[in-house]
Amino acid sequence: MEVVASMEQTKNSEDTYLFYRQEKENHTKILHRLRRRIYHVGTLRLVLIVGMIAAVWLLHEKDWAIPTAIACVGSCGFMLMVAYHARLHDKRTFEEGIIRLFDNELKALDGDSGAFDGAPELADTQHAFSMDLDLFGDRSLFQMINRTVTKMGKETLVAHFLQPLTCKNEILTHQEGVREMEGLTDFRHHFYVIGELASREKQDLNGLIATDSKRGIARHRIVGLLTWLVPAVWALLGASVVVHLIPPRYLIVYFAFSYLLANLPFKLIQNVVASVSKTEKILQTYARLMALVEREQFVSPLLRRQQAALTGSQDDAANDAEKTAASSAVKSLSRTIGALDQRFSFMGILLNILYMRDTRQAMKLEKWKQKHGILLKRWFDALGFFDAFCSFGAFAFNHPDYIYPQLTASYFEMEGTRLGHPLIHRAQCVCNDVHIPRSKYFLIITGANMAGKSTYLRTVGVNFLLSCMGLPVFAESLSVYPARLVTSLRTADSLVSNESYFFAELKRLKMIIDRLDAGEELFIILDEMLKGTNSADKQKGSFALIKQLVNKNTCGIVATHDILLGSLAEVFPGHVQNKRFEAEIDGEELIFSYQLRDGIAQDMNATFLMKKMGIYS
């Protein structure tokens, strides 16, 4: 066992650093060129408008055709330059975003993933293992892996963490998809930057998925008739004024009447718009992300299957709605909602008076929901899948020294060499082995305070979880059976539930027993059982619990300070193995190797540490 990473691993890690630094440098150069171009276009635009105004002023007393032509040509040129300037601005924003991403990735490689969401709100003491393994929060495994930029992507990623796979074939399929996504660096980076630029927009789009048209605006036939009648009367009156059949004042009268008619279905329009108002920008972003996925040429079956959900190519017998590409449909939806969001602007009010634009757009939105609403959840799920898999691909890319574990077919086996904890920097991480050859097998880990027992348990648990998610693990080699993981490492009391620490721990252990009795295949990790009771009770209860677990043909790892639990190896020969972490006292210094060894620990250090801190004499 080595204390630090091998030279080959270090070299691979340095390649990742070099990639991000080089990409950052390349895009910084592009950004500088864009900024210069934006400056020059802005200057040229100013010169053009000043020159046009000056020319028109100087020539205004001559033939009107010349200044008119200059004004028309100058205005067209100005508008083209405005459009070009807007495109340059969008490119600059993208380059700034991708440089920011590379900066954050370089920090993450050095152990600072603070720029990414750790989802601290998801910390749950009742979950089978999330709190014990530091899955969520600052400096968590989720924060280390998470690169999602959509609401559904984050939800999909969280689901992978909380409900890891237990089917060997599904995990192998995931591994294949992660391997492919690892190599799609441009795709992943573009996906992140496009999504990140709009990640703070409203993303609750559940109102779009509802397709109930009984309460909609389309069922009101009179309203539908007005959308054609109002502009037809405008055309008739306008033509009559032009040919002098009626005086212009009739237009003013009809203007006021049209205003009333246009606002007649106001409440109906509000009901249609209420659930999707202010979602134009995020839908625009989703459409761009979907288009990015639709254009990519994926190879792995899992990625191709999810892509088919967006391109509409899942079933040759599908109807026209199902064959519509998601990106174009969502882009159309975005434009419709954008038009409705502008209904209180000057132009929006005017257009609504002229041809009942708001009612038309609301009806268009309803028709869109009737045609595509049933597919929207499928599209969002597929988009969330790719968002989550971009995170998986980035994790694999950022850790080229990690390996994909082998999966065994029979319960239980976990054989690994040089396992390390992903959240501990490579330079400080001490790697250890794990050996659980079959079910009905427990490792009893004894050792002094701070010797490494808890870190070892979390190292094994985290790498087991990564294996079941189809991700690479921090190990030299690992083979594992994907059982269901259950841990009890840091049970907490609850004032709200009126539960003592000891009762909370008993509930946790009872949950494990109940799941075993229900026939579940579990991998159990326990740290210092029954901490909430006295030493005699604790020892007696710990013996009884481990005996019960072994007799239920399950497997796992138990860490304890109680070296007498090591005698269980004699009670269950071949089913219990003793391992230890030792701390050596050298004069006034306490030395930790953090390396797992055979046998039962002998050296304890509590009184030594108390003396060092001046709280024991």
pLDDT per residue as tens digits for the range 96-114: 999 999 999 999 999 899 9
| Helical spans, DSSP H, in 110-220 | 141-145, 151-162, 168-183, 185-196, 206-209
- Is the same domain home to 12 and 96? yes
What 3-state class would DSSP assign to 345?
coil
Domain-terminating residue out of 80, 110, 140: 110
DSSP codes joined into one string, 379-435: HHHHHHHHHHHHHHHHHHHH-TT-BPPEE-SSS--EEEEEE--TTS-TTTPPPEEEE
Determine what percent of the chain is predicted with pLDDT higher than 90.
Answer: 47
Residue 159 is assigned to a structural domain of this protein:
yes
Residue 231 is assigned to a structural domain of this protein:
no
Written as six digits, the tokens of 599 are 């046998």
At residue 497 the predicted structure's pLDDT band, cuts being 50, 70 and 90, is very low
The residue with greater pLDDT, 612 or 265, is: 265
- Is the same domain home to 517 and 412? yes
Domain count, the chain: 3
At residue 204 the predicted structure's pLDDT band, cuts being 50, 70 and 90, is low
pTM: 0.87
- Is the same domain home to 530 and 420? yes
- Is the same domain home to 362 and 447? no
What pLDDT score does 495 carry? 39
- Is the same domain home to 392 and 410? no
Residue 518 is assigned to a structural domain of this protein:
yes
What pLDDT score does 282 carry? 87
What CATH number has the domain bearing residue 555? 3.40.50.300
The residue with greater pLDDT, 29 or 320, is: 29
Other Cβ atoms closer than 10 A to 228: 12
- Is the same domain home to 460 and 491? yes
Residue 383 is assigned to a structural domain of this protein:
yes
- Is the same domain home to 392 and 436? no
Residue 222 is assigned to a structural domain of this protein:
no
At residue 360 the predicted structure's pLDDT band, cuts being 50, 70 and 90, is confident
What pLDDT score does 606 carry? 53
- Is the same domain home to 289 and 180? yes
What CATH number has the domain bearing residue 157? 1.10.1420
Residue entry with tokens 């064959």: 323
Answer yes or no: is pLDDT of 528 > 90: no
**Of 355, 113, 59, whose CA–CA distance to 235 is shortest?**
355
- Is the same domain home to 72 and 197? no
What pLDDT score does 614 carry? 55
Could you give the CA distance from residue 69 to residue 534 in angstroms, rounded to a whole number?
Answer: 97
- Is the same domain home to 55 and 131? no
Residue 332 is assigned to a structural domain of this protein:
yes
Q: Which residues pair with 589 in a beta bridge?
A: 586
Residue 232 is assigned to a structural domain of this protein:
no
- Is the same domain home to 197 and 334? yes
Domain-terminating residue out of 372, 398, 424: 398
- Is the same domain home to 356 and 414? no
Which domain does 428 fall in, by range?
406-612
Please calculate the CA angle 510-516-517 and round it to the nearest 5 degrees. Answer: 90
What pLDDT score does 313 carry? 64
Residue 510 is assigned to a structural domain of this protein:
yes
Domain-terminating residue out of 110, 135, 154: 110
